[in-house]
Homo-oligomer: A and B are copies of this chain.
Amino acid sequence: MSPSAANLAPSRLAPMANAIRALSMDAVQAANSGHPGMPMGMADVATVLFSQFLKFDPAAPKWPDRDRFVLSAGHGSMLIYSLLYLTGYDAPTIDDIRKFRQLHSPCAGHPENIELEAIECTTGPLGQGLAMAVGMAIAERHLNTEFGSDLVDHKTWVIAGDGCLMEGINHEAIGLAGNLQLGQLNVLWDSNHITIDGDTSLSTCEDILARYRATGWHTAECDGHDFADIARALAEAEADPRPSLVACHTVIGKGAPNKQGTHNVHGSPLGAEEIAATRAVLGWTAEPFVVPDDVMADWRSLGARGAETRAEWEKRLNAEARGGEFSARMAGELPTLNGWHEYRAKLAADKPKLATRKSSEDALTVLTAAVPAMIGGSADLTGSNNTKTKSTGPFTADDYSGRYLYYGIREFGMAAAMNGMALHGGIVPYGGTFLVFSDYCRNAIRLAALQQTRSIFVLTHDSIGLGEDGPTHQPIEHVASLRAIPDLWVMRPADAMETAECWELALRRKDGPSALALTRQNLPALRDDADENRSAKGAYRLVAAKAARRVVLLATGSEVQIAVEAAKALEEAGIGADVVSMPCWELFEAQDKSYQDSLIPEGALAVSIEAGTTFGWHKWTGRDGLAIGIDRFGASAPAEALFPYFGLTAEAIVPQIKAKLGL
C-alpha cells in the first residue's frame, strides 16, 4: 500500500533528506555524543520510505492499522527523532531534539518506546529490532485473519545495519519469518561496508543476499542515494509475497566530505569544522535546529495524507460489527475468564499431584479458551514445556489463524518475536523453553521489562529436579539472575493452585513481563483454598507455627513441600516454625513493610530453602539466617537421587536449623 503517490520530485526530496542530515549532525554535536553516520547515510532511503510507502498519521501515533516502522539499528536514533519531528508528531519537539541524550529528554541515546509514543520498540541491542519486527508481522497476519483486511492490513518496515545482520539472532529471526512467509515484512539494510572496528571485511565475507534467499526471503538492491532507484526497490519489496530484504548501498555519513565512508563517522560527533564543510556540500544554510519553511511544508504534507487514510479506516471500524471487540483487544483488555473460577475451585477440591509444567498446561487450557489474544509457542520443546492447548492450533504460512508457534530451536528469536507481538497490540504472547536456556534469550527478557511489554515466559525444568540431563541443563543461578532484572516478575509456584494464581497475575499484568519457573517433576498440592489469590502479595504464610515460633522457613516452588516437612519435624521437636511460600519476590517487595515484617518477623530465625543458588536470599534471611540452596553446578542423575545428594531434604535441613538455634 502506497498512501502517497510518488509526487515529490527528487529536487524536493533532496532537501527533505538533508533536513535529517542537518538535524542529526547538529544534535550529535550539541550532545557531544551519538552516531551521525547512520542517519546521514540512510536519510535518502528514509525520505523515500516516509514519503511514498509508509502508512502513518502523526496525529494518531497508536492508530492500530498504521505501518510499523522499526529502527533496528537503534544507535542511529537521530534518524527516527528527525523523522518524527519533521512529519509532525507532537513529540519529540525541536527542544527535545536540542536536548538529545540529556537527562529528561525523550530523545534518549537509543529510541525507547517508553519515552515517545511513536517509537514502536526500544532498539539498540543489535539484532533485536528486526526480530521484534518479525513478531509484529506475525501479529498483523494473525489479526488480519481474525478481523479482516478492512481493519488490519499493514506492513512492517525495518531499517537494519550490518550489526543487526551479523548477530546470531538475525539467523533465528529471518528463519522464522522465511518459514512463515511474512510478506508484509520488509527490511531495508543499510549496506555501507563499515562497522565500528573498520571495514566489514575485517569480520565477514558473507554474501548476505544469498543467505536471505536461502532462508526463504526475497531480496532486492538499490543505490541508497538515488531516490528513484530506492522507490523501485521498495516497490518490488512490497509486491513480493515473501519477506523482503532490500540492500541499500549507502555511504555512511553521506554528506560529510572528509569523513563519510569511514568508521570515524559512525559513533562520534563530526566536529565544528566538518559540520561547516557538510553544510557547504549540502547547500544547507539554515542555522542548527532550524528547518526551512518550504522543506518543512513538504515533510508536513505527508502527515496530512496519512490522516485521510486513517479517517477512512475509522469509518470502516465504526461500521464493523466486531469493531468494539477489536478496539478492546488492541487496548490490551481481557475478556471474562470463563471457567477460571471453576477451575480453581476444582483444584482446591481435587488437590492434584502434578508437575507445575503440567499444572501450567491445565491453566492454559482454560485461559487460552477464554482469551483469544493469547498466542503460545515453544522453542522446539512443546511436549516438555506443556505450552500447547487444544485452543491453539498451529500458526503456519498456510494458516495465520493458528495461535501456536513452532518457533524452532530459536530461544532468542522467540523471545524477541514475543515482545514484538506484545508491542504490536492485540496479542498476549507466551512462549516456552527450559529455564536454563533463558540464558539464550536473556537480553530479550530484559527488553521486555524495559519496554513494559506483557510477554510471558514459560520456563520449565526449573532446577536439579529435571534430573538426568545434568549440569548443562540444570538451572542453578537462573532464578536469581532473572530476579535481578528490574521490573520482571519472576514466579516460582509451589503447586497447581499457585501455578494458576501466577498465571492469572501474569495475564492481568498489562505493563510488564513475567517469567514462570516450572518443574518437570510432580509436586503435591499444598493448598485447598481458592477464594483468594494468595500469590498476589508475592509471599504468604502457608503454615503457621503451633509451638512458639522460633523459625520461619522461606521457600519457593518445589522446595515448599520440603519446608512443610521440615516444619513438621521441628514442631515435633517443640520448635515452632512458620512456612512462608514466596512465589514472587517482586510482588512481595511491593508490599508495605508491616506485611513483610509480619511474615518475616525480627527475632525468628529465617531459613530459606531453594534448589538453586542462595545468591540474593540474605535479603530475607539476613546475615544471621540460614540460606540453604545449591551454590555449585548440578549433576546428572535421577531427581530422587539429586535432592538428597545436594542436601535438599527435611532430614538434612532440620539438624542445621537446630544447630543454628544452639539446640
Residues of A within 8 A of B (CB): 31, 33-34, 74, 101-105, 108-110, 112, 122-126, 162-163, 166-172, 175-176, 178-179, 195-198, 201-208, 210-211, 213-216, 378, 380-384, 394, 406-413, 436-437, 439-440, 442-443, 446-447, 449-450, 467-473, 476-477, 480-481, 483-487, 613, 615-616, 618-624, 631-633, 635-638, 641-642, 645
Contact = CB atoms under 8 A, between A and B. Distances in A.
Considering residues A216, A384, A406, A613, which has the most beta carbons from chain B within 10 angstroms of its beta carbon? A406
A79 to B, nearest CB: 16
B203 A380 contact: yes
A107 to B, nearest CB: 8
B410 A167 contact: yes
Identical copies in the complex:
2
Name, among A382, A623, A636, the residue most crowded by chain B CB atoms within 10 Å (CB to CB): A636
Contact of A486 (B408, B483, B613): B613
**Most chain B beta carbons < 10 A, residue from A179, A203, A210, A413:** A203
Contacts of A103: 635-638, 641-642, 645
Given A196-B381, A406-B202, A618-B619, A101 B442 contact: no
Contacts of A167: 168, 171-172, 409-411, 440
A484 B613 contact: yes
Contacts of A480: 481, 484, 615-616
Nearest to A162: B409
Given A470-B109, A636-B110, A168 B124 contact: no
A613 B589 CA distance: 14
Contacts of A620: 623
A638 B178 CA distance: 41
Given A203-B408, A622-B623, A623-B622, A632 B163 contact: no
Contact of A197 (B179, B378, B633): B378
Nearest to A164: B409
Contacts of A621: 623
Given A102-B641, A109-B469, A473-B110, A408 B204 contact: yes
User: 10 closest Cβ contacts across the A-B interface?
Assistant: A168-B168, A203-B408, A171-B171, A108-B636, A481-B481, A210-B214, A103-B637, A124-B472, A477-B484, A439-B443
A622 B632 contact: no
Contacts of A211: 210-211, 214-215
B179 A109 contact: no
Contacts of A412: 168
B166 A172 contact: yes
Contacts of A631: 486
A206 B215 contact: yes
A283 B369 CA distance: 51
Contacts of A477: 446, 481, 484-486
A593 to B, nearest CB: 12
A203 B179 contact: yes
Contacts of A125: 436-437, 439-440, 472-473
A124 B470 contact: yes
Contacts of A470: 101, 108-110, 112, 124
Given A168-B168, A486-B633, A613-B484, A175 B197 contact: no
A484 B486 contact: no
Contact of A633 (B380, B487, B624, B633): B487
Contacts of A436: 125, 443
A110 B616 contact: no
A258 to B, nearest CB: 19
Contacts of A213: 210
A389 B373 CA distance: 54
B166 A408 contact: yes
Given A103-B641, A166-B410, A616-B618, 7 more contacts: A179-B206, A196-B383, A206-B215, A211-B214, A480-B616, A618-B618, A621-B623
25 contacts: A103-B635, A108-B635, A108-B636, A122-B472, A123-B472, A124-B472, A125-B439, A125-B473, A168-B170, A168-B412, A179-B203, A179-B205, A196-B381, A202-B394, A205-B215, A206-B215, A210-B214, A439-B442, A450-B633, A481-B481, A486-B633, A616-B616, A618-B618, A618-B623, A623-B623
A178 B203 contact: no
A97 to B, nearest CB: 13
A470 to B, nearest CB: 4
A384 B196 contact: yes
A392 to B, nearest CB: 14
Contacts of A472: 74, 109-110, 112, 122-125, 447, 450
A110 B471 CA distance: 8
B163 A471 contact: no
A202 B443 CA distance: 26
A104 B206 CA distance: 45
Nearest to A602: B623
A469 B620 CA distance: 34
Contacts of A105: 636
A408 B170 CA distance: 14
A326 to B, nearest CB: 30
B413 A168 contact: yes
B382 A469 contact: no
Nearest to A394: B202
Contacts of A208: 214
The CB with the most chain B CB atoms within 10 A, among A213, A439, A442, is that of A439
Contacts of A615: 480, 483-484, 616, 619
A436 B642 CA distance: 34
Contacts of A34: 468
A437 B443 CA distance: 8
Contacts of A407: 203
Contacts of A168: 167-172, 410, 412-413, 440
Contacts of A205: 178-179, 215-216
